[in-house]
Structure 1
Amino acid sequence: MEEEKGKYINTEFGKVPSDWRYCTFKDVLITFSSGATPYRAIAEYYKGKIRWISSGELNYNVIYDTLEHISEAAIKNTNLKIHEPGTFLMAITGLEAEGTRGRCAIIGAPSTTNQSCLALNGTGKMTTDYLFWFYRQYGSYLAFKYCQGTKQQSYTAAIVKKLPICCPKDHQEQTAIATALSDTDALIASLDKKIAKKQQIKQGAMQQLLTGKKRLPGFGEGNKYKETEIGLIPDGWGVIKVGDAFQFLTTASFSRDQLGSVGNVQCLHYGDVHTKYDEFIDFNFVELPKVIGKRGLSYPLLRDGDIIMADASEDYTGLCKSVEIKNIGNKKAISGLHTILLRDRNDVFENGFKGYIFKINEVRKQLIELSTGMKVFGVSKKNLEQVFIPVPTKPEQCVIAQILTDMDKGIAQLQEERDKYIQLKAGMMQVLLTGKIRLMKN
């Protein structure tokens, strides 16, 4: 390690202050022990009260309780160690998987672990709070470079001891860095809770409003109801089959590899429906991958009010996930691989309302009952045509849609604020963990 002219030294992680340590894990940390799995055939081993952590529970978190608990006999006969709060845990097996690389946690209450977790403790040279944030930043990089194995990439204690690390020499500076990042993380977590609460409130409002159980001022005087195929709905409302309300249009089958950034026709992939959007895709703010060449023009172009539905899902929660098209204007777009394109057949629903109609329990229940598959679930077009959906009067559709849209805007504002803090935290990690910004004077 050669000191540069000035105040910095070169490290594997870039330049860091010359008054920092640049060393290996074994120079500043202790323990380096993994756990074990008590023999599953002895049921009594898993009837105790002692916390037992598996690597799947490491999620950049503080672990106060565990999915499974074991007995004193399991600890004695498996030679397990109970780790104290503050112990750092890192996943050491299966690191070829993107979701596992870099996973870590801090023990919040006395616990044992399985063999896929490596426990490390701090010393007078490093705190585990600082280690937690350092590893969150560089854990994936370290796994790519240093873990071993062909089919399954893993660490051993010997490998981990040789991993490089940089840190301030002063515990107080380490603590200041960890505290600043933890405070930002806590703010993000609080925003996530607010978002989840507002989404829950919106889901409840959607269920009540779209089934007529809650009527809005100016609608439903007398609150009379009638029995239908989906239960009681207000007088003045109707019920219609999907096949009578919508026509099914042709969709494309372009794979991701056949889409790019250049072209005249955008293409909505089923993966986008599942992961990127909720009830609507607003083309004022969206730019989708494009079909290369002119092949996209042979398929129906999307219009405002069209419903795009994913035709398969790995679980029931994503079954027939759907979105409504908004503000497409003069843009050209088509519905792509593994999607179903529904277009209003008889002007039954108002635009801006249709994005919500497949979300209520009465419709979801029908979709689940009509689904087929073992590992992947789907509903055939023939079965989808038979699903009943409620039809409020058009004036009531407009008011319901406005209420839900306003809720969506409130959620979106919180998500935008949360995302800004996520970006801020990423920037903070980069500059604080390399000493580009110091939180304490030298």
Structure 2
Amino acid sequence: MGVKEVSASYPEVPVAAGGAVPSGYKQTEVGLIPEDWAVSTVGAEFHVQLGKMLDSEKNIGVSKLFLGNRSVQWGHVDLSELAKIKLTPSDLRRYRLRAGDLLVCEGGEVGRSAIWTDPIPECYYQKALHRLRPRRGYDVNMMLSVLAIHASTGLLRNYVTQTSIAHLPKEKFETLPIPLPKRAEQEAIAEALSDADALIESLQHLIAKKRQIKQGAMQSLLTGQRRLSGFSDEWERKRLGALLEICHGRSQREVEVRDGRYPILASGGRIGWTNSFLCDRPSVLIGRKGTIDRPQYVDTPFWTVDTLFYSIIRAPNNAKFLFYRFCLIEWKRYNEASGVPSLNARTIEDVEIYSPGADEQPAIAEVLSVIDAEIDGLENRLSKTREIKQGMMQALLTGAIRLPVTGAA
């Protein structure tokens, strides 16, 4: 099935006068749904099985790969951190995963779910996960979306036991109400949502590819390994201090206002607004304390707090080029504290790099800026597609959108 664009327009259930239930719908434990839908429960529609308890002293048998809670993310399984657990012959039969199993997090971010698709030949799962297998044909792709909606609307919180961390006990989970359309409509809903999932996945892959291209371009262009057409002058080895001056931020207490014109920046990003600025020229910013390995580029007036350095670019150098060059430096190597990571202004200025001439710097920055703009456009599209899918789930799983179906239930 090809990737299809998804629409941002959805018909809503018409609201009857005085807030009455509209014709053709009924009020249920899961909200308004069509009259020809039923309401069921997780336990009625699925066999629910918790995974194997981890106990290195008591577990015996053969060692097998298993999934933990962190491996199950929304809509996909992460196989990067698989561990092994010892299992007996009965454990092997009871806890082996098969294609189509729906895995649901029992603790932490309860309800977070993914479908097992047999990406590896053999795998098992531990007690922090519920495994759902349909009793009578409930579509697991639709169930994944139902759990996502229940999690986003807060309905799942009513079934959670809260201690130090949240838990979703099997007994409570099995009583969770879920909408029950006819089988054919379940499949139609799941297929419609899978189109949005396919677009999201393709955008994620494209963004990852673009980032790899950008990283390769930075490595070659910012070190002189590859030269742009029309430039051949030798690069000079220089201290960063010869290219820019590192400046300290200041407390925002006396300048912060609610509706200011300029951002107040810290090492983690914007923390407020002000009508004053410390710098009104393009600048490279880097953390003095805390997050020291994420340079920022700002080309509008701003204020920085004491935990974030900013820079005054020495003419005729280019701020955007220097920002990209900062991104190649492993700043954690220059950490000067044993506790919270810290940098010193003099240490930054003493770092040496090879620098091109004033004409070549902006040319390199422009090439990298074009790639950044492409990535930003794809990320905006991805964010919008995710919003649209959320709206699709809400509309489809409540029957506000009825899809044409063929065949009997």
TM over 0.5: yes
Match of 1:413 among 377, 395, 403: 377
Counterpart in the other structure of 1:146: 159
Unaligned runs of 5+ in 1: 95-99, 221-234, 274-287
Please say if 1:402 is aligned against 2:366: yes
Cα distance, 1:372 vs structure 2: 4.0
AA partner of residue 312 (structure 2)? R
* Alpha-carbon distance in 2 for matches of 1:302, 1:419: 32
Cα distance, 1:130 vs structure 2: 1.1
Counterpart in the other structure of 2:125: 113
* Alpha-carbon distance in 1 for matches of 2:196, 2:190: 10
Please say if 1:289 is aligned against 2:272: yes
Of 205-214 and 236-245, more deviation after overlay is shown by: 236-245
AA partner of residue 268 (structure 2)? G
Match of 2:245 among 232, 244, 247: 247
SS at match of 2:326: coil
Please say if 1:357 is aligned against 2:374: no
Higher normalized contact order (CA 8 Å, seq sep 6+, divided by chain length): 2
Cα distance, 1:338 vs structure 2: 2.2
Please say if 1:206 is aligned against 2:215: no
* RMSD after superposition: 3.0
SS at match of 1:385: helix
The C-alpha deviation readout for 1:264-293, integer Å capped at 9, x for no partner, is 4421232227xxxxxxxxxxxxxx8314xx
CA contact 2:110–2:167 (8 Å) conserved in 1 = no
- Structure 1 residues 192 and 261 mapped into 2: Cα distance closer, same or farther (>3 Å)? farther
- Structure 1 residues 245 and 397 mapped into 2: Cα distance closer, same or farther (>3 Å)? closer
Cα distance, 1:104 vs structure 2: 1.0
Counterpart in the other structure of 2:33: 16
SS at match of 2:162: coil
Cα distance, 1:152 vs structure 2: 2.2
CA contact 2:110–2:168 (8 Å) conserved in 1 = no
Match of 2:204 among 180, 192, 195: 192
Counterpart in the other structure of 1:262: 259
CA contact 2:34–2:398 (8 Å) conserved in 1 = yes
SS at match of 1:120: strand
Please say if 1:343 is aligned against 2:312: yes
CA contact 1:88–1:132 (8 Å) conserved in 2 = yes
* Alpha-carbon distance in 2 for matches of 1:369, 1:69: 31
SS at match of 1:16: strand
CA contact 1:303–1:325 (8 Å) conserved in 2 = no
Match of 1:130 among 138, 142, 146: 142
How do residues 39-188 of structure 1 correspond to structure 2 at under 5 angstroms? 39-40=55-56, 48=63, 50-63=64-77, 67-68=81-82, 70=84, 73-74=87-88, 76=90, 80-94=94-108, 100-109=109-118, 111-124=123-136, 126-140=138-152, 141-168=154-181, 170-188=182-200
* Alpha-carbon distance in 2 for matches of 1:389, 1:65: 39
AA partner of residue 439 (structure 1)? L
Cα distance, 1:118 vs structure 2: 1.0
Counterpart in the other structure of 1:307: 284
SS at match of 1:416: helix
* Alpha-carbon distance in 1 for matches of 2:394, 2:166: 27
- Structure 1 residues 430 and 43 mapped into 2: Cα distance closer, same or farther (>3 Å)? closer
SS at match of 2:95: coil
Please say if 1:28 is aligned against 2:71: no
* Alpha-carbon distance in 2 for matches of 1:248, 1:150: 47
- Structure 1 residues 440 and 124 mapped into 2: Cα distance closer, same or farther (>3 Å)? farther
Please say if 1:437 is aligned against 2:405: no
* Alpha-carbon distance in 2 for matches of 1:289, 1:217: 43
AA partner of residue 315 (structure 2)? D
* Alpha-carbon distance in 1 for matches of 2:393, 2:379: 21
CA contact 1:302–1:325 (8 Å) conserved in 2 = no
Please say if 1:324 is aligned against 2:324: no
AA partner of residue 174 (structure 1)? Q
AA partner of residue 431 (structure 1)? A
Percent of aligned positions that are identical: 25
* Alpha-carbon distance in 1 for matches of 2:349, 2:41: 63
AA partner of residue 134 (structure 2)? G
SS at match of 2:350: coil
AA partner of residue 406 (structure 1)? V
AA partner of residue 272 (structure 2)? P
- Structure 1 residues 373 and 39 mapped into 2: Cα distance closer, same or farther (>3 Å)? farther
* Alpha-carbon distance in 1 for matches of 2:337, 2:60: 37
- Structure 1 residues 305 and 151 mapped into 2: Cα distance closer, same or farther (>3 Å)? same
AA partner of residue 358 (structure 1)? F
AA partner of residue 353 (structure 1)? F
AA partner of residue 426 (structure 1)? Q
AA partner of residue 112 (structure 2)? R
Please say if 1:272 is aligned against 2:241: no
SS at match of 2:149: helix
SS at match of 2:33: strand
- Structure 1 residues 106 and 254 mapped into 2: Cα distance closer, same or farther (>3 Å)? farther
* Alpha-carbon distance in 2 for matches of 1:352, 1:248: 15
Cα distance, 1:69 vs structure 2: 5.4
* Alpha-carbon distance in 1 for matches of 2:91, 2:124: 13
Unaligned runs of 5+ in 2: 1-19
Cα distance, 1:43 vs structure 2: 10
Aligned pair count reads 382
* Alpha-carbon distance in 1 for matches of 2:364, 2:246: 26
CA contact 1:53–1:66 (8 Å) conserved in 2 = no
TM-score (ref. length: structure 1) = 0.77
* Alpha-carbon distance in 2 for matches of 1:68, 1:21: 39
Cα distance, 1:71 vs structure 2: 6.6
